[in-house]
Structure 1
Amino acid sequence: MRIHAEQALLPEGWARDVVVSVAGGRIATVQRDVPGGRGCLIPAPVNLHSHMFQRAMAGLTEARTAGQDSFWTWRTLMYRFLEQLSPEDVQAIAAQVMVEMAEAGFGAVAEFHYLHHGVDGQIYDDPAEMAARIVQAAKETGLGLTLLPVLYEQGGCDGRKLAGGQLRFGNDFKSYYDILEASSEHVKVLPDGRTGVAPHSLRAVSRGSLAQVAGLTSGPVHLHIAEQMAEVTEVQAAYGARPVDWALANLPLDGRWCMIHATQMTAGETAALAATGAVAGLCPITEANLGDGIFDGTGWRAAGGVWGVGSDSNVRISLREELQLLEYSQRLRDRARAVLADARSTGRVLIEESARGGAQAAGRDAGRIAPGAWADLTLLDTRSLALEGLQGDAVLDAFVFAGDDGLVTDLWSAGRHIVQDGRHIARDAVAARFRKVLQRLRGAL
């Protein structure tokens, strides 16, 4: 297969009239100066943090409850919602999410998968039944998948037992290992699938398990960290240190780790965490929706930190809006413009660095247009009025700050051409199933 682009963003910079040859899902060759291509070809970033099932509750939690609303009141509503979900529902929702991710320009997803059991904690005959549903959605849609089964043991740092909606997440270390092993078997049906581990958070996993979980795999390790001030206060009271400081002192942090959110860090924590090589997993839309706070992107990058973006709660699925909001949050805080730009434009920094960090976080050999990498590629429509007459960095600036998701005309995930002329190849069938799920769930709520 050959992909012929008018311009392309290569690791060494912009190139004109590029032909990318793909074999076995990977980039085989990259040729320059071959006239006749169309569009602007860029690496397709990985969506590094997602809870797919939450897409079906998007927009249902925006009314004020008694008192001040926060992440914690949102979480209560989420627990009510998930009591309705069957394995079939989860597969239908996941497929819809993957379609939307691909159409937005994401080439793969790292799914932080914690909905393991039935209502009231019922264990399915296949303990990885829910994981298998995510895998089947990936197989149907063609989107690359790194599956991250989540370890969730307790209701807080005090070790209290899980209750209510949390029972669908809960495992001890042994039952979690069984789910991880079964999930890894399911993922083998995907030629480019990966498996990692995800200790949910310092609140939800015991210190003993935190010390062991990274050793269960050679793949990526993802952890929620320092998202909310209430979380910082709880961990500091229980463990005698702020969450990031505790993790730095007690966990084997390195480039395999992805620290999700990290919105509540001191300057010292920011520099020290960046120095470990761990990826900062940022979800600007969800962080704004939940009122989490603003990640210190300038401090993180100054310390050499690697980062990527994810859609987390999937209240909105848009690569360009995640990147735009990340930059805009820095501008609002600092009262400045082009805050994350360097010698490159803002849009180029956002695209290149999110592609690099997302690939690292997913343990996926992608994030660049170069021989040997998975062919995760996004083609932007330079015939659009939003991109008319633009070249190089200016194309990415216009895409992120002045365009819309419709600028993504084509997308390849490991060479699979799953978005063509702006539409996912399975959009209609997937949407029909998702519509039925929405009708039933919204009626029940």
Structure 2
Amino acid sequence: MVSTERSFIEVDPQSHFPIHNLPYGVFRPLSGGDPRIGVAIGSYVLDLAALDKAGHFHATAVAGKDIFSQPSLNAFMALGRTAWRKVRAQVQQLLRADEPALRDDAVLRAAALHPIHDVELLLPAQIGDYTDFYASKYHASNVGTMFRGKENALMPNWTHLPVGYHGRASSVVVSGTDVRRPLGQMKPADAQAPLFGPSRQLDFELELGWLIGPGNELGQSVPIEQAEEQIFGLVLVNDWSARDIQAWEYQPLGPFLAKNFATSISPWVVPLEALEPFRVAGPEQEPAPLPYLQQAGAGAFDIQLQVGLTGEGIETSQTISASNFKYLYWSMAQQIAHHTVGGCNLRPGDLLASGTISGPTKDSLGCMLELTWRGTEPLQLHNGEQRIWLEDGDEVSITGWCQGEGYRVGFGEVTGRVLPAHDNPA
């Protein structure tokens, strides 16, 4: 993973956005103008619409289509991997230290390069559908142990198929959006009847998600050998969860109000191609999955993940979890293959997410439910406070990166601050 590739734009080795990455996003200059598509390079956003207007994509499938002048990545994602690779290769070439086309064109540089602090980052895609999986064996085992005991931790189907549920696309929000504590029904163990009010057990969930590219026709499945061709890129995900609402409502059909109030994603979409140097084998699967879920080769990626917590009285962010994407039992390709095996059609911009990513150690657990073991082991903060669940004013930040030698391929971060619930309408 050593690379000598260098951009004419100075990039700190700790930056998440070197020339090896070039994640896509949708932005709007604070000085005004319409949303458009760019890539992150160091501390700048490179305006792809400006490059397109200057004729630098004339030999690609985006030429003449105003693909990068749109307020979402959907049209670009629909073009498929061949188009993505050609555009990415062209952008990398233009940013190289030994390439004069952009480096020496002062007018184009002024039009196309925006300091990242001078732009507003927007939701990167128009998300039509959102599916959340439950793909971490560590997480599923821990939660099952809490509720059913160690001997019955995993449900009988769990090691045979990627468990998932359909989430709510309308409440997917971009990083930095405040999250309102949800209202709902809860039934404490000592209560005779359900109560209504603000969730008392608000949680975060450390996840990664991937945006779908061209998709598939209704009635046609995506073979596992072709599943990764559907992945445009990955984002950080915090799938906020109201555990007390969920405990009362989830039987027999699964989460509803406990999950549909907010899902936060990062603004930058890291191309799958940028992650290839960090591909690794996932956990051994026993029993062997059915043939349609059998993946040849390594299907996981070494992506380091961290969760930070700040809040009233917490001056600096405290890292409360450090996990890794490689811990997932079910790979992205397996999740896509299973999602479509019955004929479900995926469409450009659909978001699929991993579910909580937990590891084998106490400090690698991906939610408060596990970190505090359902409230029995409070989380100790540096300022002397404790947390069992998230409190109003708390801000959760998730970050992730792949570490190369002398460079990082990162995701930036996804953040969200908890606001008090609205007045109880009851």
In the superposition, the TM-score normalised over structure 2's length comes to 0.26
Return the structure number with greater strand share. 2
Return the structure number with greater helix share. 1
In the superposition, the TM-score normalised over structure 1's length comes to 0.25
When Rg is computed on C-alpha atoms for both structures, the one with the higher figure is 2
